[in-house]
Amino acid sequence: MASMSDKLSSNMDFSAFSKAKDLQKRLLFTLFALIVFRLGTYIPLPGINPTVLNEFFSENSGGLLGMFNAFTGGALSRMSILALNIMPYISASIIVQLGTSVLPSLHALKKEGESGFRKINQYTRYLTVLITVVQAFFMAQALENGNAVIMPSHFMFELSTIVSLLGGTMFVVWLGEQITARGVGNGASLIIMTGIVAGIPGAMVRVFEENRVGALSTPLLLFLLLLTFATIYIVVFVERAQRRIPIQYPKRQMGNRMMQGANSHLPLKINPTGVMPPIFC
């Protein structure tokens, strides 16, 4: 059965939106949660030298570091308490999901239904804590080696960094779960999307500034804008596309009544995994 959001998007009947009180509450909750997430990306770690940090990221803005910074919505370049974002939880989820196919104990939990799912989810959180602590420790070491630390005690800086990043990551995990349960869509995917979308205005300002000073020609600028909108359209088209497998129910007799056969379909998404496989690779 189609949800209210699917009906609104397919029929474009926005007059029905005023009647969908539950959908309004979910949208407002999702928006509020994403705003809280964005505010958290501006809370810096204690003991960081912002001048040295800005110089480092201006020199190494491209490559893998720049891509990871885009996923965090700039939180890594600001070295905020949400610098690791939700990535440790996603890594832990992949490891646990692979473990359910390899380890007999996890495979047995997977067959237990809701109770087994809760235990698996709890194991995922424990593994998230472990991964976050390891990543936070090496991040603290990298900051110390890069002279981006103003705290005199290395031990206290490492401890405060691990605690801050661990608290920030687990808060983002909790926020994503709340969005999934009480909001609209998958919380983890929306948090990643928010981090990426947050960098679009700044990128557009830089592109138009390059066009103003003559570093980027106007035809090339128009081509980039057209390519951007075309890419968005194709992505949305493929994401919404379905492969409908026809299903035919035969006639059957229930008591003295003969039930007629019915035709239906099984909707399968063309791209069920979304963008997560290339992110994990």
For residue range 221-276, list pLDDT tens digits in order. Answer: 899 889 989 988 988 888 888 888 888 777 776 667 766 767 777 888 877 766 66
Is the pLDDT score of 99 beyond 80? Answer: yes
Q: Where is pLDDT greater, at 249 or 29?
A: 29
Give the confidence band of 11 by pLDDT, cuts at 50, 70, 90. Answer: low
Q: Where is pLDDT greater, at 32 or 1?
A: 32
Distances in Å between the Cα of 194 and the Cα atoms of 42, 137, 190, 191 are 14, 26, 6, 5
Q: Where is pLDDT greater, at 163 or 239?
A: 163
Write down the pTM of the prediction: 0.75
Is the pLDDT score of 12 beyond 70? Answer: no
Give the confidence band of 37 by pLDDT, cuts at 50, 70, 90. Answer: very high
pLDDT at 194: 87
**Looking at residues 135-145, what average pLDDT do you find?**
87
Helix (H, G, I), strand (E, B) or coil at 203: helix
The whole-angstrom separation of Cα 181 and Cα 177 is 6
Work out whether strand 252-254 and strand 262-269 pair parallel, antiparallel, or are unpaired: unpaired
Domain residues of the chain, as ranges?
4-198, 217-281
What share of the chain in percent tops pLDDT 90? 18
Is the pLDDT score of 165 beyond 60? Answer: yes
**Residues in the chain, how many?**
281
Question: How many CA atoms within 13 Å lie on the side-chain side of 156?
Answer: 8
Residues 6+ apart with CB under 8 A from 73: 38, 41, 85, 194, 195, 196, 198, 199
The number of beta carbons lying within 10 Å of the beta carbon of residue 101 is 9
Residue with tokens 């309004």: 24
Is the pLDDT score of 13 beyond 60? Answer: no
Q: Provide the token pair at 221.
A: 């600028």
The whole-angstrom separation of Cα 79 and Cα 69 is 10
Class of the domain covering 4-198? mainly alpha
